[in-house]
Amino acid sequence: MLAAEGDALVGLWMEGQKYFAGSLKGEFRERNDFPVLVRGREWLDRYFAGEKPHVSELKLDPAGSEFRKAVWKILCQIPYGEVTTYGEIAKKIAVARDKERMSSQAVGGAVGHNAISIIIPCHRVVGAGGSLTGYAGGIDKKIMLLAHEGAYSKRFFVPKKSTAP
């Protein structure tokens, strides 16, 4: 489901996703012809057809704290077909905030609450050592998206106790 407010996308959720439509406030209605939703669908069609559309092609306005928005901005910089870790993002946030360090768990919480999944590529974040954890859309979808991008590696593993469905 895609959601928009004005000329910006505010949400993209997969059926069954944790926090499905959780950031939507107030009343909403279905509008398949809304221009920003059409552009979002076209972006997704291109992505799943094997193209590499860039996040910057769409106006995004996810609701969240300044911390979460800072994490999501970093997610948007992860290149197609590449991955990073929660720890690496935590280091970048710490530098940007002039702190000695930042919690990887706090970053994981922000990544997990990304309301515009796939477009803001939270699936490109893995745990230290290749742990596939923390994907609100489900680990199976995370694996599928990483494989689609050619980023899936045999070094990745699903931990016995995962934070994602």
User: Residue 165 — very low, low, confident or very high, per pLDDT cuts 50/70/90?
Assistant: very low
Report helix, strand or coil for 79: coil
Q: How far apart are the first and last CA of the chain?
A: 19
Q: Which residue has the higher pLDDT, 122 or 27?
A: 122
- Predicted TM-score (pTM) of this structure: 0.88
Is the CB of residue 138 less than 8 Å from the CB of residue 17?
A: yes
Q: In 42-143, at which residue ranges do the beta strands (DSSP E only) sit?
A: 84-85, 125-126
Domains of the chain listed by start with CATH number: 2-149 (1.10.10.10)
Mean pLDDT, to the nearest integer, of 125-147?
A: 90
Catalytic residues, which ones? 122
Share of the chain above pLDDT 70, in %: 88
How does the average pLDDT of the chain come out, rounded? 90
List pLDDT tens digits, range 7-46. Answer: 999 999 888 767 666 666 666 667 778 899 999 999 999 9
Which value, to the nearest 10 degrees, does the dihedral of the CA atoms of residues 91, 57, 41, 75 take? 0
Q: CB burial class (10 A; 0-12, 13-18, 19+) of residue 156?
A: middle
